[in-house]
Structure 1
């Protein structure tokens, strides 16, 4: 039984505005105003990221799944919440 393949991903910087991910040779900003699920995350929770497939990122400590495309083009993926409903 083969093991799970994961790609190399690294959080390179965290600031009050967001954090930067290094995906292979591409660096992407994940701003907290567009990705609010990370705002109250600890450094450990944000830094523990998995990249199981080319378009899928997962933060197990926060139980957050994101498409890489949603970081590259957040306007194509508007936030939707039924928290008020």
Structure 2
């Protein structure tokens, strides 16, 4: 998905892989791994809902089908954000 401002692509974000352990998000030419242990909201969800990701502002990602809202910092350092949903 690309954000366009005056016809120029300013960022791209996409899910590049989904496995039994988690998923990989490619943002600004950097791939970020998101384990299901740290991000349980994605486990057992449909591929369609997982790949539907938007970058609402720089390094702020939103999955509208799942109502999941994460920043790059949350993805890179999940230990800094220990609160998790009880439901997966």
TM over 0.5: yes
- Across the aligned residues of Structure 1 and Structure 2, the Cα RMSD in angstroms comes to 2.0
Decide whether the 8 Å contact of 2:24 with 2:34 is kept in 1.
yes
Superposed CA deviations along residues 41-68 of structure 1, whole A, max 9, x for unmatched, are 1100000000121131000110111111
Q: Which runs of 5+ in 2 are unaligned?
A: none
Runs of 4+ in 1 over 6 A off after TM superposition: none
TM-score w.r.t. structure 1 length? Answer: 0.83
State the distance in 2 between where 1:10 and 1:59 align.
11
Are residue 22 (structure 1) and residue 16 (structure 2) matched?
no
Decide whether the 8 Å contact of 2:39 with 2:84 is kept in 1.
no
State the distance in 1 between where 2:77 and 2:32 align.
11
Q: Which runs of 5+ in 1 are unaligned?
A: none
State the distance in 2 between where 1:4 and 1:60 align.
19
Superposed CA deviations along residues 2-52 of structure 1, whole A, max 9, x for unmatched, are x97573101110001000010011000010010001112110000000012
TM-score w.r.t. structure 2 length? Answer: 0.80
State the distance in 2 between where 1:37 and 1:27 align.
19
**What residue number does 1:60 align with?**
64
